[in-house]
Amino acid sequence: MSSADAARLADEEENNEWREALASLLDAAGPERVRQILDLLATDGRHPVIGWQPTLGTPYVNTIAVERQPPFPGDLAIEERLASWMRWNALAMVVRANQAYGELGGHIASYASAADLFEVGFNHFFRGGAARESDLVFYQPHSAPGVYARAFLEGRLNEQDLAHYRQELAAARVGARGLSSYPHPWLMPDFWQFPTGSMGLGPISSIYQARFMRYLQHRGLLDTGSRKVWGVFGDGEMDEPESMSALTLAAREKLDNLVWVVNCNLQRLDGPVRGNGRIIEELEALFGGAGWRVIKLVWGSDWDGLFARDTQGALVRAFSATVDGQFQTFAAKDGRYNREHFFGQDPALAALAQGLTDEQIDRLKRGGHDLVKIFAAYHAAVHTAGQPTVILAQTKKGYGMGEAGQGRMTTHQQKKLEREDLIAFRNRFALPLTDEQAASLAFVKPAADSPEMQYLHARRAALGGFVPARTSTAEPLPVPPRPRWAQFATAADGKEMSTTMAFVRMLGGLLKDPVLGPRIVPIVADEARTFGMANLFKQIGIYSFNGQAYEPEDIGSVLSYREATDGQILEEGISEAGAISSWTAAATSHAVHGLAMLPFYIYYSMFGFQRVGDLIWAAADQRARGFLLGATAGRTTLGGEGLQHQDGSSLLQASTVPNCRAYDPCFAGEFAVILDHGMRALLERQEDVFYYVTLMNENYPQPSLPEGVDQDILRGLYRFAEHPPTQPAVGRVRLVGSGTILREVIAAAQILAAEHGVHAEVWSATSFSELDREARDVERHNRLHPTAAPRTSHLQRCLAGDDPVIAASDSVRAWPQLAGAHLRAPFTALGTDGFGRSDTRAALRRFFEVDRGHVVLAALTALRAQGKVTAEACAAALAQLSLDAEAAAPWTV
Ligand SMILES: Cc1ncc(C[n+]2csc(CCOP(=O)(O)OP(=O)(O)O)c2C)c(N)n1
């Protein structure tokens, strides 16, 4: 024997001794003791001299050993039948819709893979009932047909409703209920709770909902202790940055009220998720590294016997050499192929498969299709303390669709099945349908007194009621009278401040209200100091699930950094996606928890609609109620910060969200009116709207609020001032300004009146989008009712006639143009289109051509078009105002 062989032999002997020692410890002292010893050795092994590093992966087998599986508490046969019927009805719904109208779309394969994962949840885990008792469940969006199929068997939807899957408009015409493509609370407000149709938003949102439940608990507002948040998501969906971005937060805050089930069917839309790798392995390392408990649910019970007989570890070896693209092919092929190509790889495997028929090999289940194994995983998850849990469930995409879809590359979009495919599916799942019924896509609906239906209802009754279900039962909250918190702003009398400062002071006042105060949720993404909110740290504390384990450096200061378990501020760090998800959780508390909260998320406006617009859209779908405050708004108020910080588009984007009320006030008094009205809309009248309001960091004198303008401020426009000329008027103009640019407009009006003989009115446009909204309604009404007395909008009443209107704002021109489109008068929009620059505010306003000089020139030019001012007068003004006629337009690229 060579010396190398001798050394190898010695190593092997030594290996065996260690393993035997471990095995005898297991026998003698049990698994807990084994874990302790391994922890001990791991600590020693990490000594720098040894430098051992654990691999984050474990073998490709179930985390819960068969010996540790709890007994299945249900009637397996009934649950399997129910799951089969759900599968069929979901499939029938989609195929029917597409037979009728090929354009409707829909998905079969995703739910086919997820049905068992859902059904175990529905039969054993997802708690229903009143908002304050039920679990929060996030459903994979393209599995919605399965959820409808269940609601059908539960008697919550009828055949007519199912017949109107993805036909919401046609349904309304025949008195049926249209079923939305994906979970949309806006469209089905008593059914869906959480919109998940945009991949990645469900995952991040579920984390922040779970965290918000803890926040409510720790602040003593609501007992959310026993409720869970469940999320069923796709493995492809895990590619989204949002899916991943808050994993460590969930672990750091020990969110053991959170369970994710990742449906690892190994495919996404185009093909395999990780064709050349193993997504389960990758996610195991990722989640494990982030601090989650990872439960792999890879193989079904049929494999238990094979593993038991596999004394040589051939299966684990073969799995570790098989990539997902190959697993997908195995899923798409029959038992014979699997025998030849999987079990045929080596003699040990072939021996294992010897006692199995091809049919049995074909039916070997993956873990996510085995109710008993799924139950064991969920059971372990809900009994996990101190950590969130992810269950990585291996399934087959298009499970049971046979030749027509199972494991096929194209299965995601498969929505038409031939007669033979339908009959094969019927046979595969032993559905109680004749050939004709199968071919004609009859729904399965057993009699109410059948054991299956009784079982289904008994299970839901035991779990508190049906899910999903959305209710909105929160008590209204009274808003304290405005003078109590906004007197300083409405009677400012020329005092200098920024609207951001005004907001912070109003917030301080509102926080003191004994009823409303505790319901306020201030949210920041590491910018509280930027907005002058540091005083709140000490006053109301920063929420921290475990208090403050350190002495803050500034402990002696009145502004000291205070974290507390009952802290009120949600400080989300540098995660706008996280902060907006937190805001959504608070803004939907009225429905999710039956407890109205009032969130204020204040942020650099540039990092709002532009950065996380899709999350805002989802919040809108979810009927969020709260305030988004776009601070340092506009392209010229944040002088030095430049291109990536100066925002000119949020207001325009906000205007496209149907239930968002967007305002751009210049003055603190205007802001107070908007805030007062908004809070009453959300909390007293309980309207499903939210507010986007801009705030500026620019200090300027704040006028007192004029008498009687409240309603007009809310409508979006009021007359602020009028400047008659000192000499005989050459003409009249209406100057309209929004946000800080109103101040340029006021200055321009003075110049026009004093130096150009122009009669100038000044209008403060608090919201071009509200003006547009009402004017649109009026126009539409007049169009559809040609013989009725025509209506007039507020906008048209304010700016009637032909005198030119010049509207300027710190946003892109399209923002004021929202109003311009409804006016008869000549309309000129000035705005800040183009990339931002770093410079002073004055320089930026000149560059973007929204300063007083450019407003004056625009007004004169409009009067020139009416023959009231000469070209020479315009040229003279240009020179006098030092405007550069040859400068490149700011939007030039
Ligand atoms: C943000 C976003 N991008 C793309 C889509 C389109 N889309 C819907 S489902 C899907 C594939 C999902 O794959 P996976 O998460 O693995 O789920 P499976 O259907 O395989 O269970 C895609 C790309 C979407 N809905 N949202």
Query: What would the 3-class secondary structure string for 460-500 be?
Result: HHHCCCCCCCCCCCCCCCCCCCHHHHHHHHHCCCCEEECHH
Q: 3-state DSSP call for residue 2?
A: coil
Query: Measured from the CB, is residue 409 less than 6 Å from ligand 1?
Result: no
| pLDDT band for position 56 (cuts 50, 70, 90) | confident
Kindly state the tokens that stand for 113. 């893979």
Query: Measured from the CB, is residue 582 less than 6 Å from ligand 1?
Result: no
Nearest partner of 104 among 26, 23, 164, 172, judged by Cα: 164
Within 10 angstroms of residue 404's Cβ, the number of other Cβ atoms is 20
pLDDT higher than 90, residue 727: no
Query: Measured from the CB, is residue 890 less than 6 Å from ligand 1?
Result: no
618-675 tens-digit pLDDT: 999 999 999 999 999 999 998 889 999 999 999 999 999 999 999 999 999 999 999 9
Beta-carbon contacts of 561 under 8 Å, excluding residues fewer than 6 positions away, are: 537, 542, 552, 553, 554
Q: Rounded to whole angstroms, how far apart are CA atoms 371 and 83?
A: 10
pTM of the full predicted structure?
A: 0.96
Nearest residue (by CA) to ligand 1, atom 10, is: 269
- Which pLDDT value is given to residue 476? 97
Q: Rounded to whole angstroms, how far apart are CA atoms 109 and 91?
A: 9
- Which pLDDT value is given to residue 53? 86
**How close is the Cα of 197 to the center of ligand 1, in Å?**
8
- Which pLDDT value is given to residue 531? 94
Residue-wise DSSP of 29-54: H-HHHHHHHHHHHHHHHTSTTT----
Kindly state the tokens that stand for 830. 């000035």
473-509 tens-digit pLDDT: 899 999 999 999 999 999 999 999 999 999 999 999 9
pLDDT > 90: percent of the chain: 93
Cis peptide before 203 (omega within 30 of 0): no
Q: Rounded to whole angstroms, how far apart are CA atoms 167 and 99?
A: 13
pLDDT higher than 80, residue 1: no
Q: Rounded to whole angstroms, how far apart are CA atoms 209 and 588?
A: 9
Q: Rounded to whole angstroms, how far apart are CA atoms 584 and 505?
A: 24
Which one-letter DSSP state was computed for residue 226?
T
| Mean pLDDT score, 188-208 | 98
Beta-carbon contacts of 202 under 8 Å, excluding residues fewer than 6 positions away, are: 138, 140, 141, 194, 195, 196, 231, 233, 237
Q: Rounded to whole angstroms, how far apart are CA atoms 548 and 555?
A: 12
Cα distances from 175 to residues 528, 664, 706, in angstroms, run: 51, 41, 50
Query: Measured from the CB, is residue 283 less than 6 Å from ligand 1?
Result: no
Within 10 angstroms of residue 692's Cβ, the number of other Cβ atoms is 26
Query: Measured from the CB, is residue 244 less than 6 Å from ligand 1?
Result: no
| pLDDT band for position 692 (cuts 50, 70, 90) | very high
Nearest residue (by CA) to ligand 1, atom 23, is: 269
**How close is the Cα of 258 to the center of ligand 1, in Å?**
22
Query: Measured from the CB, is residue 105 less than 6 Å from ligand 1?
Result: no
- Which pLDDT value is given to residue 268? 95
**How close is the Cα of 578 to the center of ligand 1, in Å?**
21
Tokens 């068969």: give the residue: 66
Positive/negative CA dihedral, 62, 64, 65, 67: negative
User: How big is the CA angle at 771 (ends 770 and 775), to the nearest 5 degrees?
Assistant: 115
The kind and range of the H/E element at 426 are: helix 419-428
Q: Rounded to whole angstroms, how far apart are CA atoms 600 and 611?
A: 18
Nearest residue (by CA) to ligand 1, atom 19, is: 110
Return the amino acid letter for 239: D
Cα distances from 863 to residues 433, 752, 829, in angstroms, run: 78, 12, 15
| pLDDT band for position 222 (cuts 50, 70, 90) | very high
For 830-856, give one letter per residue: b (16+ CB within 10 A) or e: bbbbbebbeeebeebbbbbbbbbbbbb
| Mean pLDDT score, 773-783 | 98
Q: 3-state DSSP call for residue 799?
A: coil
**How close is the Cα of 271 to the center of ligand 1, in Å?**
11
Residue 267 alpha carbon, nearest atom of ligand 1: 20
- Which pLDDT value is given to residue 345? 93
**How close is the Cα of 332 to the center of ligand 1, in Å?**
20
Query: Measured from the CB, is residue 197 less than 6 Å from ligand 1?
Result: yes
- 831-836-842-845 Cα dihedral, nearest 10 degrees: -10
Q: Rounded to whole angstroms, how far apart are CA atoms 137 and 230?
A: 5
Helix pair 3-29, 31-45: axis angle to 10 deg: 140
